[in-house]
Amino acid sequence: MTSTLVTRIGELTTNDPTLGDGTALGRLGSAAFVVEDGRVAWVGSASAAPECDTRLDVAGAAVVPGFVDSHTHLVFAGERSDEFEARMAGRPYDGGGIARTVAATRAASADELRSGVAARVGALRAGGVTTIEVKSGYELTTEGEARDLELARTATEQVTWLGAHTVPPEYAHDRAGYLALLTGPMLERCAPLARWADVFCDRGAFDLDEARAVLEAARSRGLGLRLHANQLAHGGAVRLAVELGAASADHLTHLDEGDLEALAGSSTVATLTPGAEFCTRSAYAPARRLLDAGATVALSTDCNPGTSYVTSMAFVIALAVREMGLTCDEALWSATRGGARALRLDDVGHLGVGARADFLVLDAPRAAHLAYRPGADLVTTHLASVPSRPLRHPPSRRSAER
């Protein structure tokens, strides 16, 4: 078995509170770690590092865990920049554009969809995403949703069935018929292809009773639960997510004190999507209040063609810091370990011993540069499965540039 020493790390964020400074960020200076068999095998001071077969000298750079993007809608065709332009000119978002992407996605060939997914996954990976969740939700037929889940499975194991994204046009006058399809044949076909089920439970989408019916049916088929909640209006979706033990309630733009308390007292992660709020010019979710109440917060791109065509987690971190009042460290934790919690994964989002060795070498001495230099390209992504082949520039070139 080959071992690799990653060394001369100026600032190492492990997200393991038993390491380093004892904070949630588990931070060490002048650090090193050993990768063996794709896992972190040792972490400590560079001066105390064991001998290894190969070495990656990062020359004083900051190293952080790979980002865990726990909410994306990557399987789609077409684009909706005209809606973005209209919103920037003052028109509000109401969810109505989903039907346009449904029409474009239904009309696309599997090859077109596959290359779109590959391009978006490539962009996210180059920006530091090493674990990704991908939802269906833009075909809304039994075979179409199954096709999109199969495509999502080419990118990740964290696949979510979102047949309840909106009521498709052919069921516009028969909501009950679409609910019966969702909870019957479509779920039957899609459950074996997914790990999670999600519902867009909001004004103009699915109501609480409908969401409960879909989620309970999905749970009885063995799927874990997630929920698009309180994006457009305040309602009972957050409390439904908590009541059903969902892994995550997402968006959360409109929350009252009861929602904050419910999330704080639960294992449901509050997954925030500041890219969507930026791109729809909406109010940002009350991230500071969620953290102060004691909720676990994750940050995600929500990458989709309608509300958040965002493929940069660094941009999401910068928004969370500048617009939502998170500290740089809270935003980094939420984009890594918080995302892992939202997917109920223990071996990603941190660099403690035993973790998958997915890590980012930053072209910067401190992780705070992710928010401090918005728009800068700072990340070289290393995946455990290919430890010797970084996805971006080799470190020697980046060190020379620094």
Contact footprint for ligand NIG (CB under 6 A): 73, 95, 97-98, 101, 200, 228, 231, 276, 302, 304-308
Question: Which partner from the list Fe ion, ligand NIG, none does 101 bind, CB cut-off 5 to 8 Å by kind?
Answer: ligand NIG
**Among ligand NIG, Fe ion, none, partner that 98 touches (CB below 5 to 8 angstroms by kind):** ligand NIG
Residue sitting closest to ligand NIG (CB): 306
Length of the chain: 402
Query: x/- site string to Fe ion, residues 299 to 338, per CB under 5 A?
Result: ---x------------------------------------
Q: Which is nearer to Fe ion, 210 or 302 (CB)?
A: 302
* Residue located via tokens 């040792």: 42
Q: Pick the closer one to Fe ion by CB: 277 or 302.
A: 302
Residue 231 site contact among Fe ion, ligand NIG, none (CB < 5 to 8 Å, cut-off depends on kind):
ligand NIG
Pull the structure tokens for residue 132: 């990704």
Q: Residue 129 in contact with residue 313, Cβ under 8 Å?
A: yes
- Looking at the Cβ atoms of 14 and 304, the one nearer to ligand NIG is 304
Q: Closest distance between ligand NIG and the C-beta of residue 124, in Å?
A: 16
State the Cα–Cα distance between residues 130 and 124, nearest whole angstrom: 8
Beta strand 39-45 with 27-36: parallel, antiparallel or unpaired?
antiparallel
Nearest-CA neighbor of 345 among 153, 67, 137?
67
Instruction: Determine how many CB atoms are found less than 10 A away from the CB of residue 132.
Output: 27
Q: What is the distance, to the nearest Å, from the Cα of residue 149 to the centroid of all Cα atoms in its chain?
A: 17
For the bound state, the minimum distance from the C-beta of residue 204 to ligand NIG, rounded and expressed in Å, comes to 10
Q: At what angle do helices 98-107 and 142-153 cross, to 10 degrees?
A: 80
Structure tokens at 193: 């292809």
Largest separation between any pair of C-alpha atoms in the chain: 70
Distance CA 163, CA 365 (A): 44
Structure tokens at 112: 């077109």
- Choose the one of Fe ion, ligand NIG, none that binds residue 200, judging by a C-beta under 5 to 8 angstroms depending on kind: ligand NIG
* Smallest gap from residue 166 Cβ to ligand NIG (A): 8
Give min distance, CB of 367 to Fe ion, in A. 26
Q: Residue 101 or residue 380: which is nearer to ligand NIG going by CB?
A: 101
CB of 373 to ligand NIG, least distance (A): 27
- Binding residues for Fe ion, rule: CB under 5 A, are 302
